[in-house]
Structure 1
């Protein structure tokens, strides 16, 4: 058996698979996010450990036969540790916009585009550390190590400070072409290589489980912990996406269009992300919106009704976009806007607008924003001929039908779509423990397919154009 641990923003999910990569069981524990100021987003790293313990305890099967662990997690977060590996402050998360000015300043240095192949987004790790230099200098002076969220779990599990190539790609300190830290970029932000974790490929062994933690969790001591991956690369591994062909659309808290490539294809002018994949010699392109299913959860809270109830009011007919438009920018935006100050809103409402129309607008707004990302990937030389849908939002037939219309390509829902990144992490654990290659990953069984209707495509294209014009 192999255990995948996925550290998300809203919770920790664990997935247990057997040697044939069949899911045996899943466990879950929730997490909260602190927002001490508008635009800020933080979590306490100890909460991640507590939630991982609870998620593993949620499993009913004995774990004494587990042969490896894989990790995936939310990217870009800054976990700052002192010389004794004590946490200095709450982790600053991926959707935190406080470092917008610092990101603009770093992005003006051409070395960041040249070396990373990416814009410097406010949510990336490096500008957060520059913000700390300027606003929390006493804490910054005590930093001896910076880890990404899932790698803080690795430190707890193994005692080793190691990251993987896909997660490291999102820091603005890393060269995806060289698959290594950049000393020039570290120095440009007052950092150095000694403050960075060691590096491993996602499918390689990156530490072994400590005996005391093994005894606590009911796992065998000394089993390997794979390098793992950032959450989107891990989700792609779970969906069997390792090269050109089908891509991934993720409808989690954030939204992602992901396409694997067999070469590094940077295009910072498009605001796409060009990162290493979780496998050696592979890369990927990725467009990211910061609020996807998170928009539906926000609207659910406003309405005081569970999201499934709101969706049930809409039926399953995709049709043409409605008159009400929604901008899904609750936390600012990345691709293609790169604007942490961008905010959400409804337009086109009248005195006859009702809740169902506004719920539909939320879904349409997310679908159209993801279509912008798909267009950006195509403009950057990548793209996908179809999209495998993952994440909690993938349970909605209507939403996936909208995505097919907005992007113009078939959208496929695999069986077990919600296991996503945790399943990918478990697959990486299997590869690290056994030495198996990516050819051991079977593609997922497809439970449903949503094809674009040619008669509706022009209407959805016009809706996207209207949204862009209004935004401009």
Structure 2
């Protein structure tokens, strides 16, 4: 009997294969980049066949393949993969970020949905919800015979599971992002399926993250060099996997992700969420009585990238300037460079620097951006009703010590930055499956840095945060600058 757990994390930009031993230690990993096709009509697609090719390539690099005793998966959510009668994908995978439906089309489709859509799904209708893509399937699969479509998948990991086992499945968290899942009953909503023009037989089976989907098929085992018949566990969507990896899976816990974009997320008892909320309310992938609350904001590290572009200074140099400036004065920054999604949805609002002075240089502007990102995290935590202490922060943008300091002061709470935050989704899947497999539990993050707030700077940050909220309200009242 093997003693290694293989976790496949199918992200939107890369696929990562990670091997864990029975103690919860990651002993090996391999990564393969993925390609996305983005076009001017708003379409964002991937060839789902590359997910399987990347799986084969990444797993082939791993040692100890003969010792693998089980497989678990994580992956991007809110995708749409159409299947033929043979179970093969038809056309490209439509990603969550696809925006070819404009606001007028979304409004027209909303009118065709039941008035209690929010109560059924736990969420307000979002342009990323898969139900809208199904309602206009001819827009997303042009030139393909729609009568040849016999089924659908909605998660990248689910397409890989289909290759591993031959079965069509989905976890509750990914199901809750489709706009077709009834968060109260924990099942597909027949009324919403009818509105989308699909039948329950076309939908994947909803299974908990720790459930065994099926034994690994012989053909897949041979392709991957893995033992035949080992159990393939369902796993969960990336949002749930990262939440568990950040140890925010218990009620009244939370974490923040800072990458190009950002989000804050945490766990609440489902009875306390009172959906629909302005944030996403998603089913926990293992515990049906709990819900994940996620508020995504559109601009985090992208603001630093923008500042780098307009100043012609690398981000690393901007951070050095900011560090050298010490506690000098800096303007206030609103990070709405792309509009905003949470804690309010406003595609037209735009960002700003306020309180600019001719004495402000690159360091002051950089510190303003870091502070604006920290204020966005606090704003989203408060809007979602999530706790601030202690807050784990993950993602590439959270690695900067200066960003960690601004977060601690904006929240007036300790900030915990794990050393290997890029492996949080894989760790989350390990934590979900460990009890089922008899592996040792991982009880805390290791190799983390904890940053305590400076009381005086935290008090000053609180005053500036009040100004940030007022400026945010004012920015939303300005005439839109986008077409």
273-282 or 355-364, which deviates more:
355-364
Mapped to 1, the partners of 2:312 and 2:93 lie a distance apart of 30
Matched, 1:427 2:435: no
Matched, 1:86 2:93: no
Q: Displacement, 1:213?
A: 1.9
Q: Which residue of 2 aligns with 1:142?
A: 148
Q: Displacement, 1:351?
A: 7.1
Aligned residue for 1:95, secondary structure, equals coil
Q: Displacement, 1:10?
A: 1.7
Deviation string, structure 1 residues 387-427 (Cα, Å, up to 9, x no partner)? 21122222122222222333443321134222111221233
Q: Which runs of 4+ in 1 moved over 6 A?
A: 301-305, 349-353
2:293 corresponds, among 276, 285, 292, to 285
Larger radius of gyration: 2
Conserved 8 A contact 2:325-2:364: no
What is the correspondence of 1:31-430 to structure 2 with a 5 Å cutoff?
A: 31-37=34-40, 39-59=42-62, 61-101=63-103, 102-107=105-110, 109-133=114-138, 136=141, 139=144, 140-147=146-153, 148-267=155-274, 270-281=277-288, 282-296=290-304, 307-315=315-323, 322-323=330-331, 325-330=333-338, 333-339=340-346, 341-342=347-348, 345-348=351-354, 355-378=362-385, 382-430=386-434
- Residue 375 and residue 82 in structure 1: after superposition, are their counterparts in 2 closer, same or farther (change >3 A)? same
Q: Displacement, 1:14?
A: 2.3
- Cα RMSD of the aligned pairs, angstroms, is 2.9
Deviation string, structure 1 residues 215-245 (Cα, Å, up to 9, x no partner)? 2222222222222111121012112322123
- Residue 342 and residue 194 in structure 1: after superposition, are their counterparts in 2 closer, same or farther (change >3 A)? farther
Conserved 8 A contact 2:325-2:363: no
Matched, 1:18 2:21: yes
Mapped to 1, the partners of 2:143 and 2:342 lie a distance apart of 34
Aligned residue for 1:88, secondary structure, equals strand
Q: Which residue of 2 aligns with 1:447?
A: 448
Mapped to 1, the partners of 2:18 and 2:420 lie a distance apart of 11
- Residue 321 and residue 194 in structure 1: after superposition, are their counterparts in 2 closer, same or farther (change >3 A)? farther
Mapped to 2, the partners of 1:97 and 1:424 lie a distance apart of 30
- Residue 456 and residue 345 in structure 1: after superposition, are their counterparts in 2 closer, same or farther (change >3 A)? closer
Q: Displacement, 1:322?
A: 3.2
28-37 or 99-108, which deviates more:
99-108
Mapped to 2, the partners of 1:191 and 1:83 lie a distance apart of 15
Mapped to 2, the partners of 1:456 and 1:248 lie a distance apart of 20
- Residue 183 and residue 163 in structure 1: after superposition, are their counterparts in 2 closer, same or farther (change >3 A)? same
Q: Which residue of 2 aligns with 1:462?
A: 467
The structure, 1 or 2, with the larger RCO (C-alpha pairs under 8 Å, 6+ apart) is 1
Conserved 8 A contact 1:104-1:120: no
Which structure 1 segments of 5+ residues have no match? Answer: none
Q: Displacement, 1:256?
A: 1.7
Q: How many residues were matched structurally? A: 463
Q: Displacement, 1:5?
A: 1.4
Aligned residue for 1:202, secondary structure, equals coil
- Residue 364 and residue 384 in structure 1: after superposition, are their counterparts in 2 closer, same or farther (change >3 A)? closer
Conserved 8 A contact 2:320-2:363: no
Mapped to 2, the partners of 1:233 and 1:317 lie a distance apart of 39
Mapped to 2, the partners of 1:293 and 1:6 lie a distance apart of 22
Q: Displacement, 1:184?
A: 0.9
- Residue 259 and residue 289 in structure 1: after superposition, are their counterparts in 2 closer, same or farther (change >3 A)? same
Q: Displacement, 1:82?
A: 2.2
Q: Displacement, 1:136?
A: 4.9
Mapped to 1, the partners of 2:325 and 2:444 lie a distance apart of 29
Q: Displacement, 1:105?
A: 4.2
6-15 or 106-115, which deviates more:
106-115
Q: Which residue of 1 aligns with 2:480?
A: none
Which structure 2 segments of 5+ residues have no match? Answer: 478-483
Deviation string, structure 1 residues 111-170 (Cα, Å, up to 9, x no partner)? 311111101111121112223245657644432222122211111222111110111111
Aligned residue for 2:91, secondary structure, equals coil
Aligned residue for 1:76, secondary structure, equals coil
- Residue 6 and residue 193 in structure 1: after superposition, are their counterparts in 2 closer, same or farther (change >3 A)? same
TM-score relative to the length of structure 2: 0.86
343-352 or 275-284, which deviates more:
343-352
Aligned residue for 2:285, secondary structure, equals coil
